A and B are shown apart, each in its own frame.
Chain A
């Protein structure tokens, strides 16, 4: 196994894809310590800077699948090439168990019918821990392969649709991209894969 095994992947359609990772960089904003990042982002908000850009600062993306730079007129954002090893070392997926216990499985009305999808796949509220683990594992793996779909980007950040497969059925789940390869689940079901 060489370094190119990480850069070049075969996607689900058998196509060769090339994964060059970058870190989005907005001037003056650091990734760590987190409290300083928060202060700097707050100052940028007070100064009227584009919050979409500051939300992207520090985020890892593959070049073939990232928002176009410049994001807007007079956007000073840059991108820094980073290795897959850095992404692998730092990335992690975070899915709160309450996404299942307090949302999906809560009741039909509040989950707007999403509970039925999971019941049909053979899961119920007692499987929330299993689903949480499975989501974290699968989403992280897909993200590390650059296998995500860019959804809307705004001041809250870049949303990603990431495929999840349960008992042979595949669909998208919703995630928010955070600095240094962290992805945070927003919604367990974000649409069928068509």
Chain B
């Protein structure tokens, strides 16, 4: 195994504290004797990641490789990536079919007609860069449709139920 190899966790027993689960994929960023620092991406939130130290016996080497150009750029940015890494994969606080309320008034929502205080239903379990999909649409007393399905920053929402 070498730096920037793609790996799969084949045993998650020792890593529950990191919220790592079996078969999760990652990038080995530092190999030391019998262990490695591995960058794991949050399967529930694209762009979110943690670095965990894992025993090499608990890893399986994948045959796929990162494109060479990406490896080069990754190496250049690695210190910064490590500095910003979390110590564990963070589960997202909101789940599918939760009823939520928008707690901010921002242009990125008002342009779709969604204002502070509007309630909606979360319609996906996965986030992208902390944004989750919420259906704010509804039917008024006259049978007319209003609202939209948009992505909303998780911190801009409060779970009602």
Contacts and interface: CB of A to CB of B under 8 A. Distances in A.
Interface of A: 28, 33, 35-36, 38-43, 45-47, 51, 55, 98-99, 102-103, 110-114, 116-117, 152, 154-156, 159, 174, 176, 186-187, 189-192
B149 A155 contact: no
Interface string B118-161: 01010110001101010101111001110111110000000000
Contacts of B49: 42, 46
A46 B131 contact: no
Contact of A113 (B66, B128, B139): B139
B13 interface: no
B18 interface: no
Contact of B128 (A102, A155, A159): A155
Contacts of B25: 35-36, 38-39
Interface of B: 6, 8, 25-27, 41, 43, 46-47, 49, 64, 66-67, 69-70, 73-74, 77, 81, 96-97, 99, 112, 119, 121, 123-124, 128-129, 131, 133, 135, 137-140, 143-145, 147-151
Nearest to A117: B139
Nearest to B126: A156
B129 A189 contact: no
Contact of B149 (A55, A117, A186): A186
B121 A189 contact: no
A150 B129 CA distance: 23
B151 A28 contact: no
A123 to B, nearest CB: 15
Contacts of A103: 97, 121, 123, 135
9 contacts: A28-B70, A45-B47, A45-B128, A98-B96, A152-B112, A155-B128, A156-B133, A174-B135, A186-B149
B99 to A, nearest CB: 6
A39 B128 contact: no
Nearest to B73: A47
A159 B144 CA distance: 21
A152 B41 CA distance: 26
A113 B131 CA distance: 26
B138 A112 contact: yes
Which residue among A33, A40, A117, A154 has the maximum number of chain B CB atoms within 10 Å of its CB?
A154
A40 B25 CA distance: 11
Contacts of A117: 139, 143
B137 A112 contact: yes
Given A36-B64, A103-B121, A155-B129, 9 more contacts: A28-B69, A28-B70, A35-B8, A46-B47, A46-B77, A98-B96, A102-B97, A114-B138, A156-B128
Contacts of B133: 156, 176, 186
Contacts of A42: 41, 46-47, 49
